[in-house]
Structure 1
Amino acid sequence: MIRTVIFDMDGVIVDTEPVHRYAFFKHFDELGLHITDEEYATFTGLSTRNVYQKLNEAYNLGEDIESFVLRKRAIFNDAFDEKEDLDLLDGVRTLIEDLHQHGFQLILASSAAKVTIARVFKRFGLDPYFSDKVSGEDFVRSKPDPAIFEHAASLSKAPKSECIIIEDSNNGVKAARAAGIYCIGYNSEHTALQDLSEANQVINHFSELNAEKIRAIVTE
């Protein structure tokens, strides 16, 4: 019986991807980088720091990674505050409230920086529903490395066998499977070019899930 649900954030709870994309590509232009959509898609699920580490290895940017991270974050924060139409993904608040009402423990495990997570949770009033929030910036390696999900599961009051993960990215699904945790892939219209075939099941809308259906999932 499932008792803990671990949520990714970007592309699962809220679609900040267009804001991230805008910030990244504005900064790529500043750096003189010409990144294709296909290459950008491989960054999904990575922390900002890991994205710039990959870019530095590929393009020998020759500057301090932290300066890149801070510049991209500044562009993102300005755009985030100005984006009035930013909202939670359709159906996810209903699911979160239903799970909370039925006694599930909810944990966030996102590659996003702590400051970004805090902005999203404050804007949409999500703090009362989640017992813990885990940021990818606390880990050396990003998804598909399973460390973030293994840590999130260690915060669960239930054993790992009674946890599931909801993810929308190829890297996230691979990380969930590597952590040995049942994974529901969310086939979001906002997340392009992602392979969810390794997920235990795939949904196209959060209306396909509720507390009863999730509690009945058998992970072993």
Structure 2
Amino acid sequence: MIRTVIFDMDGVIIDTEPIHHHAFFTQFAELGIPVTAAEYATFLGKSTRNVFQLLKQKYALTADVEDMVMRKRELFNKAFDEDAGLNLLPGVHNLIEDLRRNNVQLAVASSASKGTIARVFDRFGLRPYFAHLVSGEDFAESKPHPAIFLRAAELAETPVAECIVIEDAANGIAAAKAAGIYCIAYASPHSEGQNLQQADRIIRQFYELSAAAIVAIEPAS
């Protein structure tokens, strides 16, 4: 029986990927580095800090990693606050409410910073639904390393066999599977180019899921 659902945030609960894309590529232009769309796709699911650690080494950047992280957050926050049309993904709020009505515990395990998670949760009133919010900034290694999902399961006091993860990126799916957790992949239109085949199930709409169906999922082996 599934007792805890662990959600990724960006691209799963809310479609902030276009805002992240804008912020990153604005900064890439400022830094003068030729990051391609294909290379950027490999960053999805990783923390901003890990992305800039990789880029600093690859492009021999002189800028400090923490300064680059803060600049990216500044660009993201400005775009986030100015986007009046930003909303939760269709069907996800109904699923969240359905899960809580059925006493399924919810957690978020996102590579986003604590500040970004707070920004999203406060704007859309999500805090009452989630028992635990886990940020990738607290981990030395990003997804596909499983640490963030293992920590979410630990905080939820739920064996990994009684958890599921909902993800939209290949790195996140790999992290869930490495943690031994059943993974549902959301095929987001803004995560094109992501290989979702490692997931246990792929959905295209959140209306495909319900609390009853999730609770009945056979535990991961």
Q: Tell me which interval the TM-score lies in, with the shorter structure as reference length.
A: over 0.9
Q: CA deviation at 1:149?
A: 0.5
For residues 64-75 of structure 1, what are the structure 2 equivalents within 5 Å?
A: 64-75=64-75
Question: Distance between the aligned counterparts of 1:158 and 1:75, measured in 2?
Answer: 37
- Deviations, residues 166-215 of structure 1 (Å, cap 9, x unaligned): 00000000000000111011111121110010001111110110010001
Equivalent residue, structure 1, for 2:56: 56
- Deviations, residues 116-166 of structure 1 (Å, cap 9, x unaligned): 000000010000000000000000000000000010110123322110000
For residues 88-127 of structure 1, what are the structure 2 equivalents within 5 Å?
A: 88-127=88-127
Please state whether the residue corresponding to 1:109 is helix, strand or coil: strand
Superposed CA RMSD in Å reads 0.7
Q: CA deviation at 1:57?
A: 1.3
Q: CA deviation at 1:63?
A: 2.1
Equivalent residue, structure 1, for 2:23: 23
Question: Distance between the aligned counterparts of 1:40 and 1:157, measured in 2?
Answer: 35
Equivalent residue, structure 2, for 1:46: 46
4-13 vs 148-157, greater mean Cα deviation = 148-157
**Match of 1:111, as an amino acid?**
S
Question: Distance between the aligned counterparts of 1:75 and 1:155, measured in 2?
Answer: 32
Identity of aligned residues (%): 60
Please state whether the residue corresponding to 2:11 is helix, strand or coil: coil
Structure 2 residues not aligned, in runs of 5+: none
208-217 vs 158-167, greater mean Cα deviation = 158-167
**Match of 1:82, as an amino acid?**
E
**Match of 2:142, as an amino acid?**
S
Aligned residues: 220
Question: Distance between the aligned counterparts of 1:195 and 1:37, measured in 2?
Answer: 15
Question: Distance between the aligned counterparts of 1:62 and 1:30, measured in 2?
Answer: 13
Whether contact under 8 Å (2:169, 2:194) holds in the other structure is: yes
**Match of 2:30, as an amino acid?**
E
Q: Give the TM-score, by structure 2 length.
A: 0.98
Please state whether the residue corresponding to 1:80 is helix, strand or coil: helix
For residues 145-184 of structure 1, what are the structure 2 equivalents within 5 Å?
A: 145-184=145-184
**Match of 1:175, as an amino acid?**
A
Report whether the alignment pairs 1:190 with 2:193.
Answer: no
Report whether the alignment pairs 1:141 with 2:147.
Answer: no
Question: Distance between the aligned counterparts of 2:158 and 2:172, measured in 1?
Answer: 21
Question: Distance between the aligned counterparts of 2:188 and 2:21, measured in 1?
Answer: 16
Task: List structure 1 segments (4+ residues) > 2 angstroms apart after TM superposition.
Answer: none
Equivalent residue, structure 2, for 1:86: 86
Whether contact under 8 Å (2:160, 2:179) holds in the other structure is: no
Q: Give the TM-score, by structure 1 length.
A: 0.98
Whether contact under 8 Å (2:28, 2:34) holds in the other structure is: yes
Structure 1 residues not aligned, in runs of 5+: none
